[in-house]
Amino acid sequence: MLLKIASHSSERRRILRIILIAAFILLAAQPVKGHGYLVRSIPEDRAVLERAPVRLQYWFSEALEPDFSSITTRDLNGEVVATGGVSPTNPTLMEARLPTDLEDGAYINELRVAFAADGHVIIESRVFFVGEVVSGVAGLAATDRAIALEVVWKVLVLSSLTLLMGTFALYNLVLLPAWGSATHRAGNLPPRVMRRLNTIVIAALIIAVLGNLLALLQQTMVFFGADAARVLRDGLWQVVRIGTRFGDTWNVRMLLLGLAAVLHGLSLYLRSSQPETVRAFWAANVWVLALMFATLSVASHAAGSLLLPWVAITSDWLHGVAAAIWVGGAVALALVAPAALQPYKGDARRRALLAALNRFSPVAAACLFIVIATGLYNASNWVTQPADMATTYGGALALKVLLVLVLVAIGALHHIALRPARYARFSALIDRVSSFLPTLRLEALTALSVLVAAAYLSATPVPPLDLAGQSIPPPRAEFQLGDYSVAFTMIPGGPGVNTYDAVVLRDGQPANDLTVRLRMAHPPLDWRGDWQIAEPLGDGLFTAAGAEIDRPGPWQTLLEFGDGETMQRAAFQWDISADAAAIQSRDPTLINLILLGGVLAAVGYALYPLLRRFVRALDLSPTIVLVAVAALVLTVVLVVVGIRLTEEAALQYERTVNPPPAVVNPVLPDMASLLRGRAALVEACGDWHTEADWPELLRRLPRTRDEELFAYTSAGWRGLPACSPALDDGSRWDIVNYVRSFEASGAAPLASS
């Protein structure tokens, strides 16, 4: 009867645990958004524009999946006026071209953004107004999507991989040294222990495979917006598996799972014929599992870090591996201990358990240091101000930290109980946990809660960084010349890659039959880029892109248009701001560097036993140490000096090739300047056009600087006479601009007139 009651009680406890875990999973299944976020948008949400923009551009913090990301722009009647997608040249940019004849009113941009790293899809809408604000129209924030399935597969994958890593590590680092014996040839542990370990590994492998299959199903459902039945019926999962970055990491993870399963299968298959290989297969699988955690890291928050992405991924991987050895090891120990200790009672049972715990304690401590150090560094990537802790991410982080603290407290309890002599003042506490197994189970249960919290955290959007310049409008200018009107926009308008859009209208109608070319110039360095032909996209829109603007400051755009024989010139002056660039990376702060130092210290602590063994094997005689230190110092000095010299040489080369001019051309080379320049050249310089050396000057123009041309107007050049001394500087610069206009391949603006 008593036995029956005890059995019922145990069953109830088991059911209660399952309910608790399920409740936690459901609690974690809150609506979430993607990991990535918008770093720059043109136009801004709710921007009020005098005229319709030529194109919409949205820069994100991470690369996007081109096949599953799109922009649809609608007017207030719901009519689609434009569609777009991921830029073919920049995977972090989504863009759409708008028609040039958009009427005044409100326009809604529906964004469907699929992030490549984690496969998260967000759907949100943003509004812009042409003319004036239309009341009652607003965009919708990123659609909150119930992704219980995502949290479920993440819990399954994370907990199974953690258990696998913990089990393999526990076997090699704890169980073998503590309990191993050569008398048990297959695995060096008693068959009952190996049976229990094998059961854990096989169960975890099955759960990991199921979790991964669920991941592919859920991801395909999200990408295609389809239900599970359609995904399976139409084979859509294959498209995601072979056509996306999520599919790439999924494939690698499944391959590694297959490798781990094969290695473990071999250890079972060969345990009778070649028992000595069992231990070897268990050692090899530690590394396979460590690698498997890397597949989680490349699809984690870390992959989208603007701060040193590979350091972030490495830190995330260290965090995962250390947590898995610590938490997974604790769970595996709790699961294997009953079978291992089954023949023992009393003091022998206690000594056997103590042997394992004493081996596990330093491993767990080293892992704990790494978990804390990497956790702080990882959080510093996203939590940059106190207000971030009030976000969903901050809440999820706090929940995880709280549960980890409980785990640390239980670990500390075990640490104290294992050393009764040293912590005699806690004897009452030590007596309460002296049997260890109940607290070991509690530790395992708490560890599972931590894993659920970790899955929840990884499915929670990070707080967007407050990036300067997000609201700086792109440089835009208009120019009227006779029948033509030109509107030019440079997007985003900061240093880096920019898109150049020119809308040319003739008598108010799109002038699609023109040739349009443009070049960028930086007068402070007397530098000009190459002429590039703008691609006609219809509706009078001509577009080009380039990375000529490499620094803030005054820049010019020279734009020429015409039928190829007769060209007109428009010129625009910009004051480029560094903040206007679409930020794709950020520099580490002092806090980031300090925390990174903490990570290195924690890893150093964990590797200290290995390093000590290595150091002991070295010949540390004074002569050898002196030579080694001298060689090290010399190497460091040479590397530092080499880097400095290389930088200096690069700077010197740039100064030599393109030195700042003694006099800077202050006159914008627009059509008016060219006309003035031609007139001045004819009237005050004896008309260089008729001189024999004129063609030679034009031939040399690409390698002749403005300041040299300016000097020629005073001193003459070869057969070209000096201009009248009465000519003012402004007119001389007009002449320079006019002469420079002949540099274009093809007709110069005033060549035929």
Partner 1 sequence: MLPLVLAHGALGWWDEIIFLGVIIVFLAIMGYSWVKSRSAALDADPPSGQPAQPASKNHAAQDRFTLE
- Minimum CB separation from partner 1 for residue 731, in Å? 51
**Interface with partner 1: number of residues (CB under 8 A):** 49
CA 232 to chain centre: 31
CA–CA separation, 322 vs 369, rounded Å?
Answer: 9
Helices 148-170 & 191-224, crossing angle to 10 degrees?
150
Q: Which two structure tokens, joined as six digits, stand for 577?
A: 């701001």
In terms of CB distance, is 319 or 519 closer to partner 1? 319
The least CB distance from residue 289 to partner 1, in Å, is: 10
Among 234, 272, 310, 718, binds partner 1 (CB under 8 A): 310
- Asked if 387 and 364 count as a contact pair (C-beta separation under 8 A), the reply is no
> What's the length of the chain?
753
Shortest distance (Å) from residue 411 CB to partner 1: 17
Give the helix/strand (H/E) hosting 288: helix 276-297
Q: Give 188 or 543: the residue with its C-beta nearer to partner 1.
A: 188
What's the token pair of residue 479?
């120019």
Q: Tokens 């005054």, residue?
A: 554
Radius of gyration of the chain (CA): 35
Would you count residue 261 as binding partner 1 (CB under 8 A)?
A: no
- Which residues have C-beta within 8 Å of that of residue 585, sequence separation ≥ 6? 306, 307
Binding piece for partner 1, criterion CB under 8 A, among 340-348, 489-497, 548-556, 619-627: 340-348
274 or 577, CB closer to partner 1? 274
Q: How far is the CB of 86 from partner 1 (least distance, A)?
A: 11
User: Which residues lie below 8 Å from residue 699, measured CB to CB, with a gap of 6+?
Assistant: none
* 308 counts as binding partner 1 under rule CB under 8 A: no
Rounded Cα distance between 374 and 372, Å, is 6
Strands 553-562 and 47-49: unpaired
CA-to-CA distance for 68 and 616, rounded, in angstroms? 57
Contact track, partner 1, 165-204, x by CB under 8 A: -------x---xxxxxxxx----xxx--x-----------
Contact 494, 508 (CB under 8 A): no
Nearer to partner 1, 179 or 574 (CB): 179
Choose, by CB under 8 A, the member of 19, 206, 287, 634 that binds partner 1.
287
Q: How far is the CB of 315 from partner 1 (least distance, A)?
A: 14
Site for partner 1 in 108-137 (CB under 8 A): 116
Q: Please state, in angstroms and rounded to a whole number, the distance separating the CA atoms of residues 491 and 475.
A: 7
Q: What is the DSSP letter of 589?
A: -
Task: Give the torsion through C-alpha atoms of 443, 449, 454, 460, to 10 deg.
Answer: -160
Q: Are 557 and 571 in contact (CB under 8 A)?
A: yes
**Residue 481 touching partner 1 (CB under 8 A):** no
Nearer to partner 1, 582 or 671 (CB): 582
Count of Cβ atoms closer than 10 Å to residue 226 Cβ: 15
Q: Pick from 14, 17, 195, 351: which binds partner 1 (CB under 8 A)?
A: 351
CB of 341 to partner 1, least distance (A): 9
Q: Give the shortest CB-63-to-partner 1 separation in angstroms.
A: 4
**Site stretch for partner 1 (CB under 8 A), options 18-26, 289-297, 475-483, 684-692:** 289-297
Beta-bridge partner residues of 500: 490, 544
H/E segment holding residue 47: strand 47-49
Specify the stretch interacting with partner 1 by CB under 8 A; choose among 157-165, 277-285, 602-610, 740-748: 277-285
The span from the CA of 313 to the CA of 295, in Å, is 10
Minimum gap (Å) between residue 513 Cβ and partner 1: 37
- Which residues fall within 8 angstroms of residue 345, CB to CB, at 6 or more apart? none
Cβ atoms 207, 266 nearer than 8 A? no
Q: Tell the residue number behind the tokens 């890397």, with chain if given.
A: 294
Asked if residue 283 binds partner 1 (CB under 8 A), the reply is yes
Residue 522 beta carbon to partner 1: minimum distance, rounded to whole angstroms:
28
As measured in angstroms, the least distance from the Cβ of 359 to partner 1 is: 5
- Within 10 Å of residue 625's Cβ, how many Cβ atoms? 12
228, 239, 270, 280: which one binds partner 1 (CB under 8 A): 280
For residue 355, state whether it binds partner 1 (rule: CB under 8 A): yes
Q: Would you call the peptide bond into 43 cis, given omega within 30 degrees of 0 as the criterion?
A: yes
Is 359 a binder of partner 1 (CB under 8 A)?
yes
Stretch that binds partner 1, among 286-294, 470-478, 578-586, 654-662 (CB under 8 A): 286-294
Exposed e or buried b for every residue in 475-502, given b needs 16+ CB within 10 A? bbbebeeeebbbbbbbbbbbbebbbbbb
Q: Does 697 bind partner 1 (CB under 8 A)?
A: no
Nearest 5°: the CA angle 136, 106, 59 is 110
Shortest CB 184 distance to partner 1, Å: 8
Residue 193 vs 518, nearer CB to partner 1: 193
| 103, 276, 431, 535: which one binds partner 1 (CB under 8 A) | 276
Q: Which of 123, 137, 352, 525 binds partner 1 (CB under 8 A)?
A: 352
Q: Determine which residue in the list 28, 56, 288, 516 makes contact with partner 1, applying CB under 8 A.
A: 288
DSSP 3-state assignment of 266? helix
- Alpha carbons 69 and 216: distance in angstroms, whole number: 18
**Residues 213-252 within binding reach of partner 1 (CB under 8 A):** 243-245, 248-249, 252
By beta-carbon proximity to partner 1, the closer residue of 362 and 529 is 362
Among 291, 416, 442, 477, binds partner 1 (CB under 8 A): 291
CA gap 32, 141 in Å, rounded: 12
Is the CB of 47 or the CB of 283 nearer to partner 1?
Answer: 283
**Shortest Cβ distance from residue 237 to partner 1 (Å)?**
17
- Both structure tokens of 569: 């010139």
| Nearer to partner 1 (CB atom), residue 311 or residue 578 | 311
Binding characters for partner 1, 70-99, by CB under 8 A (x = yes): ---------------------x--------
Assess 348 for contact with partner 1 (CB under 8 A). yes
Minimum gap (Å) between residue 417 Cβ and partner 1: 12
Nearer to partner 1, 35 or 126 (CB): 35
Measured from the CB atom, the residue of 239 and 664 that comes closer to partner 1 is 239
Asked if 324 touches partner 1 (CB under 8 A), the answer is: no
Compute the distance between CA of residue 167 and CA of residue 149 in angstroms, rounded to an integer.
Answer: 26
| DSSP-H helix ranges across 109-190 | 148-170, 176-179
Instruction: Provide the minimum distance between the beta carbon of 549 and partner 1 in the complex, in angstroms, as a whole number.
Output: 23
> Judged by CB under 8 A, which of 20, 202, 236, 354 binds partner 1?
354
Determine, following the binding rule CB under 8 A, whether residue 39 of this chain makes contact with partner 1. no
281 forms part of the interface with partner 1 (CB under 8 A):
yes
For partner 1, the binding residue among 358, 384, 573, 577 (CB under 8 A) is 358
Q: Name the one range near partner 1 by CB under 8 A: 141-149, 345-353, 573-581, 644-652.
A: 345-353
Distances (CA, A) of 557 to 163, 463, 529: 61, 38, 10
User: DSSP state, 88?
Assistant: S
Closer to partner 1 by Cβ: residue 356 or 581? 356
- Angle, CA 80 vertex, CA 127 and CA 227 arms, to 5°: 90
The rounded distance, in Å, linking the Cα atoms of 51 and 71 is 20
- Smallest gap from Cβ 593 to partner 1, in A, equals 22
Q: Which residues bind partner 1 (CB under 8 A)?
A: 63, 91, 116, 172, 176-183, 188-190, 193, 243-245, 248-249, 252, 276-277, 279-288, 290-291, 294, 298, 310, 340, 343, 348, 351-352, 354-356, 358-359
